Amino acid sequence: MDSFYALMGGFEIALTFQNLGLAFLGCFLGTIIGALPGLGPSNGVAILIPLAFSLGLDPTSAMILLTSVYYGAMYGGRISSILLNIPGDEPALMTTLDGYPMAKQGRAGEALAISGVASFVGSFFATCGLVFFAPLLVKFALLFQPADYFALYVLAFATLGGVSSTNQAKAAFAAALGLGIAMIGVDGQTGVPRFAFGEVHLYDGIDFLVAIVGLFALSEVFIFLEHRGDGSGEGKEAKMTIGRITPSFEMLKFCTPTMIRSTILGFLAGVLPGAGASLGSFMAYSAEKALVNKNDTFGKGDPRGVAAPEAGNNSAAGGALVPMLALGVPGSGTTAVLLAMLLALNITPGPLLFTKNPDVVWGLTAALFIANFMLLFMNIPLVGLFVRVLLIPPKFLMPIVAMVSFVGIYGISGSTFDLMVMVVFGIMGWGLRKLEIPLVPVIMGILLGNAMEANLRRAMTIDNGDWTQLFHSPLSIGLWTVAVVGFVLPIIFGKAVKMRIQRAKAESDGLSD
């Protein structure tokens, strides 16, 4: 009940004119960002962070803006999946499987409507889940000792590497690379510079916002430069007839069980540190396909095949906020970016956030409920507006992305050195993506590196450097076990999952071409 009262207080914060305006702006921008191929939730939020920061927004308002963008992008991703057969962002990949066939049958409007409703159901119930589970997790997290926190960080990296990448060695490499970058700068505990090569600019360390914008946003520009002219980057015309855009009652009833099951699955995938929305939509789609695909209609334009991944990825997006707020360990790439935002505002997420800054937590949660209704409205009756945005070709979009990235970073630091570091990260991001090295562990490493080391050293100081203390409490043993299982098990089974995603995609290409 406490959470309920706290949430009511949150509504008081969220219902100010400024915060409502920011939520609306965030939803609008987010839907556009999600719909545009090449801009997804993580790089979209990344290029807007510096903006929120330099506008001098207070932490609650800044989080409301960015989280609305995050939710909005989850809604928007489906638009280009359905109309163009190009996922607007990675989690919307599964939506192409049934969404595009529906559009080809002239039922694009219906697909947009049902996926909009599914998105709403997913994120609405995930936000309820956030209200319910985050405080529980906080109570649990207050028991954590430094050694347990260290194990938790290891767990986050292990599940991230294990579950969401094909090659565990590459994920481990990415994590170590990020952690290594975090080590640059003056050591917080003893005051000695590390890896600074005598360069004064590096004494403060690498600003994670600079790294994030470079890795996520600028690398996209390089990818488009590489693929210019070979067709994959060019905007296809969305000339299909949209048809009716209100879902019929029978259709909703038909899809309801699917949406409920997918919401639950997606939420679980989201809460798991490191798994994220892509896994949520994949699990939801596969489960529904296995469960209700009796007449073999999936992949040929079954509305349930559109509802499942959309409910799943939106629900996972909400679920991913739970560990981010309650433990300070992000559950996905975009929540990692949001964590960076909080850190940049001097707010440390984790159990203490709920007692020290309850306004941030509950104001944000309340704003998410409001944002959801705004998004439902934008994404069903007004969806035509966003369809037009898809016609912006990358040759104009990408220069805008690059320039806005520079403006944002320059607005925060005003330093040319930081801009150059950002370009270096942009090139690095391009190279890593070519080699299929996941970027999210790099970001998580840069973000969490110092906290991870601090907890390890604190644990060692408490126990005078006795290594065995890391595995002393039952809690830490449990966390280590999950970490090892989470990393090793997917090496055996995970390949199959990723291959099935790719095969499913190949099948749909076979159908559409």
Residues that bind another protein (CB under 8 A): 51, 54-55, 166-167, 169-170, 172-173, 175-177, 179-180, 183, 187, 189-195, 218, 221-222, 224-226, 228-229, 394-396, 398-400, 402-404, 406-407, 410-411, 414, 416, 419-420, 422-423, 426-427, 430, 434-436, 452-453, 456-457, 460-461, 464-465
Q: Which is nearer to another protein, 1 or 200 (CB)?
A: 200
Residue 37 Cα distances to 84, 304, 347, 390, angstroms: 10, 24, 32, 8
Minimum CB separation from another protein for residue 450, in Å? Answer: 10
CB of 437 to another protein, least distance (A): 8
Q: Which is nearer to another protein, 210 or 238 (CB)?
A: 210
CB nearer to another protein: give 381 or 399.
399
Query: 398 by DSSP, 3-state: which?
Result: helix
Q: Looking at beta carbons only, is 129 or 394 nearer to another protein?
A: 394
Quick one: 198 or 474, whose CB is closer to another protein? Answer: 198
Q: Which is nearer to another protein, 184 or 353 (CB)?
A: 184
DSSP string for 466-502 = -GGGGG-SHHHHHHHHHHHHHHHHHHHHHHHHHHHHH
Q: Which is nearer to another protein, 186 or 268 (CB)?
A: 186
Are 184 and 205 in contact by the 8 Å Cβ rule? The answer is: yes
In angstroms, rounded to a whole number, what is the distance separating the alpha carbons of residues 235 and 79? 14
Which one, 207 or 302, has the nearer CB to another protein? Answer: 207
State in angstroms the smallest separation of the CB of 335 from another protein. 23
Query: Which is nearest to 266 in space by CA: 172, 332, 350, 191?
Result: 332
Residue 43: CB minimum distance to another protein, A = 16
In whole angstroms, give the CA distance from residue 126 to residue 322: 10
Minimum distance of another protein from residue 214's CB (angstroms): 10
Which residue in 374, 371, 428, 361 sits closest to 131, CA to CA? 361
Phi, psi (degrees; rounded to nearest 5) at 185: 115, -175
Residue with tokens 């912006």: 392
Task: Report how far residue 407's alpha carbon sits from residue 513's, in angstroms, rounded to the nearest whole number.
Answer: 41
Nearest in space to 438 (alpha carbons), one of 87, 156, 178: 178
Nearer residue to another protein within complex by CB, 379 or 450: 450
For 328, phi then psi, to 5°, come to 75, 15
Q: Considering the complex, what minimum distance in angstroms separates the CB of residue 411 from another protein?
A: 5
Least CB distance from residue 395 to another protein, whole Å? Answer: 4
Smallest distance from another protein to CB 20, Å? 18
Spatial separation of the C-alpha atoms in residues 120 and 123, rounded to whole Å? 5
Alpha-carbon distance 421 to 208, whole Å? 11
CB of 21 to another protein, least distance (A): 13
Q: How far is CA 242 from the centre of its chain?
A: 29
Residue reference for tokens 């630091």: 413
